Structure 1
Amino acid sequence: MIPTPDLSHIQKEDFDRVYEPAEDTFLLLDALEEDQELIQLLQPRVCLEIGSGSGCVTTLLAKIVGDANAIFLTTDINEFACQTTKRTALHNEITHIEPLRTSLVEGLLPRLKNSIDILCFNPPYVVTTHEEVAGTGIEASWAGGIDGREVIDKLLPYISILLSTNGIFYLLLINENKPMEVVKIMEEAYQMKAEIFMERRAGREKQYILKIQHLKNE
């Protein structure tokens, strides 16, 4: 079992500016640990986390992969989150994480087309008004707009373009995001394999990890 990354370097007041790891973060960590053997067998060369926040998820993923030659990229619209991601990596003796300040995957294509072996996203999924979605501070980590899906739906068309042949996308959703609708979209609109890999109740909130991959030719 790989220990949860140490976040003791992050001050309490920092969490006014960057998303503090919570039940959703830990569910995503658990999903990566559950698939640890598969991830290691895949021998990923390029990993990407969208919306890295504290950097906790990518730091754990780097420990799972354990290959100093692999590339770990993260994106976040929040500059302080990018800085915190780098600090978390270094604090946990991970030196090969490169944070990029951008929205979703803007600027990464076409250079990374079909290159991402492991893709992770704990998106802004909270149901809000459309007007709350456009922020670049802490609110960008949670405001999801209508059905909590506005940011998620912007990303979905890029998944088949980003993932490598054997790549895996781990996406966190809540019940209000209509996860089975997302599964159907990925299957019917983008011809990808999508399934609910893990689920958990956190208080009144039901959380899910969707696992999405290219269809394999039998």
Structure 2
Amino acid sequence: MIPTPDLSHLTKEDYKHVYEPAEDTFILLDALEQDADYLKSLNPRLCLEIGSGSGCVLSFLGAVLGSTSALYLGTDINIRAAQATVRTGLQNKVSTSALVTSLYEGLEQRIKHQVDVLVFNPPYVPTLEGEASVAQDGRDIAGAWAGGTDGMAITDQLLKNVGGMLSPRGVFYLVAVKQNDPEGICVRMRRTQGLDGEVILKRRAGGEFLHVLRFRRSE
């Protein structure tokens, strides 16, 4: 069993601005560990986490893959989160980098068909219409959870471009809740991106029914 990354360097003050790992984080860690042999077989060169927050997931992915020359890159709209991602990498001896940007803005050409492992635990909580964009504009902790009317406002922006980001052997992990319609997401990704998707893990956590979806190119 791979231990959860050491986050003892992060303080209560950090968590006022950066999303603290919770059940949605931990189900994603479990899914990555469950796929450890598969992920190692990819021999990834570029691992990208959109919305890297505390850096917990990206550092865990580094532990899953072990000794490798992969680049671990996180992006986050929140500068405090980007800083936390780098600090967590250092704390756990994983060489992480972080870029302050929305989704992957500014990286479009550099990562085109280059991402071997893509991870996104998005702001999926259904909120009032327009609240997601307001939260993103605020570039603080609300941007980590406010997902708009159906919880898909931010996720939808990424999903339409995933096929162009993944390498030929690339894999994409996405966290979703029942209200996001995980099965519908899989159908849409097959139709629009040519990616086969499946729910590889699901778990109830309080009032949420969490899912981890995995997408790969059709064989």
Which interval holds the TM-score relative to the shorter structure? Answer: over 0.9
Equivalents in 1 of 2:147, 2:39: separation in Å?
29
Describe how 1:24-103 pairs up with structure 2 within 5 A.
24-94=24-94, 96-103=95-102
Deviation, structure 1 residue 155: 0.5
Q: Which runs of 5+ in 1 are unaligned?
A: none
Equivalents in 2 of 1:166, 1:85: separation in Å?
26
1:171 aligns with 2:174: yes
The aligned counterpart of 2:185 is 182
> 1:146 aligned to 149, 171, 188, which one?
149
Equivalents in 2 of 1:190, 1:55: separation in Å?
28
The aligned counterpart of 2:14 is 14
The aligned counterpart of 1:202 is 205
Deviation, structure 1 residue 130: 2.6
> 1:158 aligned to 152, 161, 164, which one?
161
Equivalents in 2 of 1:54, 1:102: separation in Å?
15
Q: Which runs of 5+ in 2 are unaligned?
A: none
Deviation, structure 1 residue 131: 2.2
Aligned residue type for 2:193: Y
Equivalents in 2 of 1:67, 1:158: separation in Å?
30
Deviation, structure 1 residue 146: 1.4
Aligned residue type for 2:79: E
Deviation, structure 1 residue 68: 4.3
Equivalents in 1 of 2:194, 2:64: separation in Å?
29
Could you say if the C-alpha distance between residues 115 and 67 of structure 1 is closer, same or farther in structure 2, counting changes exceeding 3 Å?
A: farther
Could you say if the C-alpha distance between residues 41 and 68 of structure 1 is closer, same or farther in structure 2, counting changes exceeding 3 Å?
A: closer
RMSD: 0.9
Identity level (%)? 47
What per-residue deviation string (whole Å, max 9, x for no partner) do you get for residues 49-74 of structure 1?
00000000000101111234211110
Aligned residue type for 1:116: V
Secondary structure, in 3 states, of the residue corresponding to 1:126?
coil
The aligned counterpart of 1:137 is 140
TM-score between both structures, scaled by the size of structure 1: 0.96
> 1:214 aligned to 207, 214, 217, which one?
217
Equivalents in 2 of 1:131, 1:195: separation in Å?
30
Secondary structure, in 3 states, of the residue corresponding to 1:67?
coil
